[in-house]
Amino acid sequence: MSDLRMHVYSAMAIWLPVVWIFAVGACIGSLVNVLVYRLPKGLPVIVPSSRCPKCNTKLTFRENIPIFGWLFLRGRCRFCRESISPEYPLVETLVAVLFAGLYILWYVVPPGTVALGIDWGSIKPDWAKNGVRETWPAFTVLLVLVGSLVAMTLIDFKTFTIPLVLTWVPVGVALVLHPLNALLVGQDDLRYTAGRLGDWIIATPGPAGWWWVGACFGAVIGLGVANLLLATGRIGRSFADYEAWEAQALAEAKASTPAEDLADLAEADTPEMWVQYPHARREMVRELAFLAPVAALGWAGAWGAVEAFGWADVPLWLQALTGVLMGYLIGGGLVWGVRIFGSLAFGKEAMGLGDVHVLAAVGACLGWPDAILTFFAAVVVGLFFAIFGLIFSFKAARMMAFGPCLAIGALLVILCKPLIEAGLGSLMSWSVPLNLP
């Protein structure tokens, strides 16, 4: 009996946290539903409390139970009997499964657990091997990012816009919790590196490490200066005249369109309208002016840090904080570079600024190497949806915004990075001759 009791207690110690994480994920999924409904409408998130969108009756506690509330109500409002979209429990279940699945992969599945030819225990990053007690801040950052990505994806898919607050929240959490996790682990255990953020800095001690510390802090100060110049009107805001141009273009098109074709013209006000804007190259010059203080102060900060600290060791918490800033700057800079040079080359806006913020948030939470992998994974995902839409004449897939592709790419990198690294390694070994002198 004692052995059985020990097995029961052991199983409870393992799976009760999983159940708790699942419940937390379901609650966060409920919050995601609120964000998806309210943010595009400009409504406050906290107040008023949840209400039926049809009869506007305030919902009680039992209607608000994630997942089960919809099941108990059988998909209908208890007050007006109007149907409730199944999107609500599906989103709650999705987030709950993602949260619990990540916890199981990170902290429950031991290395060497092979199924379907995949070692599921090897998916976890190095820092997760320290256990949940020492790495809960880093895991919290991951969960906040995943919840934000789900909300961004749903809003972007519906409205072709990304509320920037959904990108700022995970960045803010990463700035606080990654350095905190480094302090908890301590300098002697280098397995924790803010989600692999500090590996490269640790490998380059002395001036090289301080160069990156100074460059990142200088660039962030440069972002602050650029936004101040933008707010005071010293730098023009890009695409400031787009709405006026769009209204004029639609009015001219309406005036020149026969009455029998006006119904078809209503479809012109679609996410494809921005492609017709004729001044994209001019607007990229303004964005380059915005980025000039970032580049200048980044170089100045790098030089100043090396001069001030030289060969002194970079504290682990500062390495983690610098890694967050590196991920933010390199992730956002990658998409912004594609946006600027693509727009200059083709004369049309290549990518949205919302996509810049999304990859910047991914880089801040996961690190700049994962941000780069996410971008290329997103390109593959976008191509897949485009081909799928062409083959099956599915317009929504062909017109899919790049934000959801970035979110899916980030999840692929989180869950499949060992496979991606193995594939890239095989590709490089195949493409590079092995008999080099």
Q: What are the mean pLDDT values of the chain's consecutive 10-residue runs (437 residues total)?
A: 65 84 95 91 78 72 80 78 84 96 91 76 80 88 96 88 93 93 67 44 62 94 96 90 83 68 50 74 94 96 92 84 92 95 89 92 92 92 81 57 89 83 63 48
- 94 and 160 in a single domain? The answer is no
Rounded to the nearest 5°, which phi and psi values hold at 198? -95, 0
Please tell me the distance from the alpha carbon of residue 188 to that of residue 178, in angstroms, as a whole number. Answer: 16
Same domain, 98 and 154: no
Query: Cα–Cα distance between 158 and 86 in angstroms, integer?
Result: 16
What are the residues facing 58 on neighbouring strands? 51
- Domain boundary (79, 108, 137) is at 108
Any domain includes 126: no
Comparing C-alpha atoms, which of 39, 44, 36, 38 is closest to residue 94?
36
- The answer to whether position 117 is within a domain reads no
Distances (CA, A) of 342 to 166, 270, 347, 414: 26, 21, 8, 28
Q: Say yes or no: 87 and 209 in one domain.
A: no
Q: Which of 58, 75, 108 is the last residue of a domain?
A: 108
Determine the pLDDT at residue 279: 87
Q: How far is the C-alpha of 367 from the C-alpha of 369, rounded, in Å?
A: 6
Let me know whether 93 and 187 are in one domain.
no
| pLDDT value of residue 99 | 97
Is 115 within a domain? no
Report if residue 342 sits inside a domain. Answer: yes
* Contact status, residue 335 vs residue 355, Cβ threshold 8 Å: yes
CA geometry: angle 154, 158, 160, nearest 5 deg: 100
Residues 68 and 203 in one domain: no
Please tell me whether residues 102 and 154 are part of one structural domain.
no
Structural domain boundaries enclosing 384? 150-431
pLDDT confidence of residue 254: 72
Tally of domains within the chain: 2
Domain for residue 436, yes or no? no
Q: Give the C-alpha separation, 95 to 30, whole Å.
A: 9
The pLDDT score that the predictor gives to residue 429 is 60
| Domain final position from 56, 84, 108 | 108
Taking alpha carbons only, the member of 191, 192, 190 closest to residue 181 is 192
Asked if 399 and 283 sit in the same domain, the reply is yes
384 lies in the same domain as 293: yes
Do 282 and 375 reside in the same domain of the chain?
yes
Does 193 share its domain with 89?
no
362 Cβ contact list (under 8 Å, min separation 6): 145, 149, 327, 331, 370, 371, 374, 406, 410
